[in-house]
Structure formats: C-alpha cells, structure tokens
Amino acid sequence: MKLALTEEQQLIQDTAKNFAETELVPNAAPLDEHQPGSRDTFLSNLNKLAQLGFMGLNVGAEHGGSEAGVVAFSCAITELARGCSATAVTVSVTNMVAEVIESVGSDEQKAYYLPKICEGTYPAAGFCLTENSAGSDPANMKTRAIRDGDDWVITGNKLYITSAEYAGCFVVWAVTDGDAKRGKGISCFLVEADNPGIEIAKAEEKMGQRGSATNEVIFTNCRVPASAMLGNENQGYAIAVGELAGGRIGVGSLALGIGLAAMDYARNYLGEREQFGQKIGNFQGLQWMLADRYTELEAARLLLMQAAYLKENKQDFGSAASMAKLFASEKANDACYSALQMMGGAGYIREYPLERHARDVRITSIYEGTSEVQRLIIARGLLKDIL
C-alpha cells in the first residue's frame, strides 16, 4: 500500500479538519452539557456535513455518495472526532448504514434510501442490532419478524442505538426462522422512522459521548412490506458480521481523533505552564510521556490505514480491522489519561476539554465489539489453521 494520501483523500482530510475546527469545536462542550441551542447547532452541522459529502463517503456517485473510499472515510472520522466525537460517531454510523444498503440492497432500496441519507434529507440513520441478550453475540437476538401476507411484523427491543431520535431510517435485524440453527434464521429490514410501530425511548444518560443521542428503539407489531427486507431471507447474520468489521475501522478512527485532540491540548499546555522556574515541557518525565503516546497514536493510524486499504481494495480485512480497533481504542484511552495527568489538576477541571475527552474515549474500547471480543477474533484468525 502507498502510505501517502492521494490528492482527493488529502482534500477530504483537510476539509474535515477545517470543518471540525470552525464548526464543531465551538459547539462540542455546549453539546456535551446539553446547553440550549446546542442540539440545533449539532443537527445543522450534520446537514452541512451531508452537503459536503461526508454522509456517503464510500457510496457510489449514482446514489448521491462521494465515492471517496474507506481510507478517506477513516481520515475524515479522525479529524471530525478531534473536534467533536459526538458528531463524528453519528457520521460514522450513518455511513455504516449507507454502506449496508449499497452492499446488499435492491435497486429500489438504493434509489430510495441512499440519496436521502447522503444528501441530508435524513439527518442520520440508525443501526439496530444490539439487544439485552445480543450485543457481541448477535446470534442470540430475541426480536422477531413474522410473515403476515405480503408484510413482515417486527416485535422486539433494540438497545443503545446511536442517533435513534433523529434518524430517518433504521437497518433492523430480527429472527425470521426460530427453528433454524444458531445465527442462521436472522434477516435484515429497512424501516423508516415514522413507522407507527416504532417507539423511541428517552435518551440514555451516559458517562461520555453525551452529545450523541443513544436510545432504546421499541418495535411493537411494526408492519413493513416484504420489499423492506434487505438482502436475502435468513441471511442477515452474515450482513451483521460483515458490517461490524467495517464499523470497527470507524470506531478506531474515532478513538484516534479523540486521543490526538487530548494530546495536542496537553502538548500546548506543556509550553505554557511553569514550575520550578521553567516550562514544564522541559521536564524529561513529561517529554517521555509525550513521545510514547504520540508514537502509539501514529502506530494506531497506520493500523487503521492498513485495514481501510484492505477493505477499499476488496481484500480480507476482518482481522486487520479488529487489530486496528483494539490498538487504537486502547492507546487512545491511554493518551487521554496521560494528557490529563500531564496537565495535573487543570486536566480535571471542566473548563478544559481533557475531562470530556477522557469520558468520550472510554466507550471506544466497548462498542463495535469490546477489546476482549477483538482479541478473540484476532486469536481465532491466528489459530484457525492450527486448532
């Protein structure tokens, strides 16, 4: 692979960086604190990002997408996360939904849904997979879809759904054959948010990522036409597994952006704060912390670029994505806590962004598969020809 970005990829990275600095950073803290008007600014920024082409970065131009590829997507999410992780995660998940539709959707589904997602008609899109008994183990889901004439009727609850309260549509997984072997009787559906069978519960109160809405989505006799099925009947598990692997590139990129934002802020602080008659950046202990964390974040970036490159070039990328997500999320957590430590008491004060970064980054080693699950995936890949 070429380590240098193409001209188009560089342009997308620069555009994301500039947008984050000018539009996202000023609203990040107010959004985290749920200040009046911050939600409206957030939704306005999502629309602006759609107009810039960031909601369909890996979607074909014929469907309104940017056709920029996975490497550009990773670069964009990293830069957006440096400005506001709540906005970045919404962009990441919305791109994920768009990719599912383009990958396995019918021509009619692609023509109807993708332009609405890419152009911002839908502020966001939701990925309804997780349940109380099915997170890292999607084969154990309880949501059911029962055939009724020309329709399917979906009943069940989905948990921790990013952007649910302002999503325009959802990709929903449900069991369609209860007698099938584990993981074999699951199908996937496209459901519009205004379906009367959907209820969006109140947003969860979270430790971090407070600016991003996370809701339970309740399906009660939610009737959809047979044409709403995405892909083939009872083949939804494979879709879920494939898209989760791609989603790990997004979460790893998100983590990298948060870690870089934290370290950049701490680095500048080292040049301002004085103790013992000199700038604290002159102390070797802090210099080594700085060097180690930036080295680790650069290694995370390279792992993410490799996974993104493999996916973009239609090669097997599952293990690479798990490695990248595992390393990036763990090292971004380390970076945020090191940055907070480098700033001492100031890092613990809400006036500075370090405490928000430390709260926001924590979830990156949990969602799209915990670090422990990533280790299982990596190990199974390494041992599949031995055991």
* 114/235 Cα distance (integer angstroms): 21
Catalytic residue among 79, 102, 296, 368: 368
Which two tokens mark 36? 């009046």
Q: What DSSP string describes 187-255? A: EEEEEETT-TTEEEPPPP--SS-TTS-EEEEEEEEEEEEGGGB-SSTT-HHHHHHHHHHHHHHHHHHHH
What is the separation of C-alpha 350 from the centre of its chain, rounded to a whole number of angstroms?
A: 25
* 293/279 Cα distance (integer angstroms): 20
Using alpha carbons only, what angle is made at residue 295 by residues 293 and 301, rounded to the nearest 5 degrees?
105
Our answer to whether residue 368 is catalytic in this structure is yes
* 44/112 Cα distance (integer angstroms): 23
DSSP tag of 384? T
CB 371, CB 365: distance < 8 Å: yes
CB 238, CB 316: distance < 8 Å: no
Phi, psi values for residue 218, rounded to 5°: -110, 125
First to last CA, the chain: 31
* 73/251 Cα distance (integer angstroms): 11
Whose tokens are 């650069």? That residue is: 298
**Residue type, position 53, single letter:** G
H-run or E-run covering 109: helix 107-118
* 89/127 Cα distance (integer angstroms): 12
CB 58, CB 95: distance < 8 Å: yes
Which two tokens mark 139? 């084969």
What is the separation of C-alpha 76 from the centre of its chain, rounded to a whole number of angstroms?
A: 12
CB 204, CB 160: distance < 8 Å: yes
Q: Enumerate the active-site residues.
A: 368
